[in-house]
Amino acid sequence: MSRPTVLIPGPMNKTVLTGIAENFDVIRLWEADDPDALLAERAKDITAVATGGTTIDGAFLDRLPALQLVASFGVGYDKIDAAAAAERGVIVTNTPGVLDDEVADTALGLLLMTARELSRAERYLRAGSWPERGYPLTKATLSGRTMGILGLGRIGEAIAHRAEAFGISIAYHNRHPKDVAYRYYPTLLELATAVDILMIVIPGGDETRHLVNTEILQALGPDGILINVARGTVVDEEALVEALHSNTILSAGLDVFEHEPKVHPGLLDLDNAVLLPHVGSATTPTRNAMGQLVVDNLTTWYTTGAPLTPVHESTALVQNLHN
């Protein structure tokens, strides 16, 4: 019996490549001399795609008539048109859960660095300025603050639990309230007005593009701290640069950017912005766990017909298969 064929459009985590090769016929498209010709030749054989960031839209899906599953490496899947996939009967999976703690740790690290100017203070020391005079007192403290979490999902709750240990009060905005002890605000504007830390943990995509704009930043106010560990597209970067430059908000800590890996040059010039190169889940153990979940989603799909972590656009498809 022939093994199922899995297409890998671009380079991926070694755990993914090794795990898939053990059980599937693999097409490593990025290594082909003529990727388009190879895809056309093998399209009818391909029943799954494993991807770590390739854009997969309706046109791409239409090139693969036998496709059943797209297994994505990462929690965010905004480069995959999951709705278009569902319309074609194709299930999309992602890798939630295994990176929650790592991203939450990064979020709190960014908050500490931003509020207490830790990276700025280190640069001061390295520049040899300490013998001349001590580093100036920072304007901000975390004591007595309220954090508003935009997107209280798994990662958002992990961040909330950590923030509570710092004595920070928690509020949140989701589409719908959850059964939690934290205060719920029905609009983002109301949340931003009520808090002095805005933590962004929602998915990217057209629905959330530039949700954090000039109005939201003005509502956050001059003592406000913005932290983004979600997707750069959620924030209007032009508005953020202006807000930081004019002290409309106090500071920002960013692990993601609107056009990454390009970073807005205005951010690079600002001392009240802490910038990281999208390292939220970037540890070897976590990335390997994410890779293994990609492999496990593929394996369980072909052995049981039920992938482990389908995205919400694919939930109805999975349910219909088992009704």
Mean pLDDT of 199-210: 94
Please report how many Cα atoms fall inside a 13 Å half-sphere around the Cα of residue 142, on the Cβ side: 21
Domains, the chain, ranges and CATH? 5-98+285-321 (3.40.50.720), 100-275 (3.40.50.720)
The DSSP secondary structure of 51-118, one letter per residue, reads ESS--B-HHHHHT-TT--EEEESSS--TTB-HHHHHHTT-EEE---STTHHHHHHHHHHHHHHHHTTH
Average pLDDT over residues 317-323: 73
What DSSP string runs through 31-66? G-SSHHHHHHHHGGGEEEEEESS--B-HHHHHT-TT
Terminal-residue alpha carbon distance, the chain: 28
Q: Are 259 and 285 in contact (CB under 8 A)?
A: no
> How far is residue 91's CA from residue 104's CA, in Å, rounded to a whole number?
28
Say if residue 100's pLDDT is above 60: yes
Q: What is the pLDDT of residue 320?
A: 76
Each residue's pLDDT tens digit, 51-97? 998 999 999 999 999 999 999 999 989 899 999 999 999 999 999 99
pLDDT in tens, 225-261: 999 999 999 999 999 999 999 999 999 999 999 999 9
Structure confidence at residue 153 (pLDDT)? 95
Spatial neighbors of 87 by CB under 8 A, at least 6 apart, are none
Active site positions, annotated? 231, 260, 278
Q: How confident is the model at residue 318 (pLDDT cuts 50, 70, 90)?
A: confident
Q: What is the mean pLDDT of residues 137-150?
A: 95
Bridge partners of residue 114, in order along the sequence: none
- Find out whether 280 and 102 touch, Cβ atoms under 8 Å: yes
pLDDT at 323: 60
Q: How confident is the model at residue 142 (pLDDT cuts 50, 70, 90)?
A: very high
Q: Which residue has the tokens 């403290």?
A: 141
- Letter for the amino acid at 264? H
Share of the chain above pLDDT 70, in %: 99
Using the predicted structure, report yes or no on whether residue 116 has a pLDDT greater than 60.
Answer: yes
CA distance 294 to 16: 7
